[in-house]
Amino acid sequence: MTDFLIIGAGVSGLLLARELLKAGASVCVVDKSDAGREASWAGGGIVSPLYPWRYSDSVTALANHAQNAYPTLVADLFSETGIDSQLSPTGLLMLDADDRAEALAWAAFHGRSMHALDSDDICHREPLVAADFRHALWMPDVANVRNPRLLKALRASVMSSPAASLIEHCEVQLIDQAEGAVSQIRVSIDGVQKFLRADQYVVTAGAWSADLLSGLVARPPIIKPVKGEMLLYRSDRPLLKTIVLSKGRYLIPRADNLILAGSTLEHCGFDKKVSDSAKKSLTQSAIGILPALADMPVVGHWAGLRPGAAAGVPYIGRMPGFRNLSLNAGHYRNGLVLAPASARLMADILLGRPTLVDPAPYDPAHAHDRDAAF
């Protein structure tokens, strides 16, 4: 029998599979559609929380580990698969942080590089950014990763292992339990129902995770879908060197003169349709930051569902009341940056290894306390 069955092949599930395979386990990953095509594909790929000092230390702890791990992860994936995830250390320029003193104190405490800039510095660093910004914070070490390529590389890496199987278009419909353990899961593969079994089961189904658990436990941890829409501009020349953030909206420069403009925050269930109103709002924000974008075509517009959990702290750990069921989900706006660390922590817990960080803040056993305020 397979050692681990992972439900959901986004960045959380595929990175966990990779961790477990590296440790010598056998792994089956299932996904209701193609691997890596939900939030992990739709995201911007900024390898940092936005305004990172506004998050709790538990998010910072994972982010610090993950940011350090990214260069090696991307290099290893490139040598394993030939797919370059294009990790670009562009830096992050935040144009609107009113809480600069807190931000600088946070950066000093956590050993992160951060500088306060005035309008001349902003103009020097990004000459085409709108002239009306007087202050900024600059984090030179922040990178962005081309997440659709990262997901392709992760899929290829997992598939290359003889101890792995990946079943796409395989929707988990029911998790069966008996006497404090999951006994099997019922799946539908292209409309045909089957049962799959493993020693251990891990839910990494992003925004769908709580729904999957709701048939099993009376009060699953709250994980809500939060829609984010994104635009893609194609410029005819380089316009931007760094990620620029203002009022929660950002521009991300990619290779090939592509610029991503994100993102909305919408609470509308599992609806992933894009809207003209979001496009208008994103266009206004993008041009407000970088006026030259007014002359550039929008070549893409999509939406994804973030897995929203209380305070943006993911649930990582064993589900209380079950011997063989765990959860790694709820990464909200930071699932791409946090994934290498959260997958490592989940693997540490599953394999009984010393944990990367203190697991307590992420423990699903504390969900009721955390969710009370959500």
Ligand X SMILES: Cc1cc2nc3c(=O)[nH]c(=O)nc-3n(C[C@H](O)[C@H](O)[C@H](O)COP(=O)(O)OP(=O)(O)OC[C@H]3O[C@@H](n4cnc5c(N)ncnc54)[C@H](O)[C@@H]3O)c2cc1C
Identify the residue among 20, 129, 172, 350 touching ligand X (CB under 6 A).
172
Q: Which stretch binds ligand X (CB under 6 A): 38-46, 96-104, 152-160, 289-297?
A: 38-46
CB of 149 to ligand X, least distance (A): 14
Asked if 39 touches ligand X (CB under 6 A), the answer is: yes
The one segment of 36-44, 51-59, 191-199, 280-288 that binds ligand X by CB under 6 A: 36-44
Q: Which is nearer to ligand X, 206 or 361 (CB)?
A: 206
Candidate segments 37-45, 111-119, 128-136, 193-201, binder of ligand X by CB under 6 A: 37-45
Binders of ligand X among 276-305, rule CB under 6 A?
A: 304
Q: From the CA atom positions of the chain, what is the Rg in Å?
A: 21
- Out of 139, 143, 205, 310, which residue is the one contacting ligand X (CB under 6 A)? 205
Q: Which is nearer to ligand X, 12 or 26 (CB)?
A: 12
204 binds ligand X (CB under 6 A): yes
Q: Is 40 in the site for ligand X (CB under 6 A)?
A: yes
Binding of ligand X at residue 21 (CB under 6 A)? no
Nearer to ligand X by C-beta: 27 or 207? 207
Does position 92 interact with ligand X (CB under 6 A)? The reply is no
Residues that contact ligand X, how many (by CB under 6 A):
42
Among residue numbers 315 through 344, which ones bind ligand X (CB under 6 A)? Answer: 329, 331-337
Contact residues toward ligand X (CB under 6 A) are: 7-13, 30-33, 38-40, 42-46, 171-172, 204-208, 212, 228, 230, 262-263, 304, 306-307, 329, 331-337
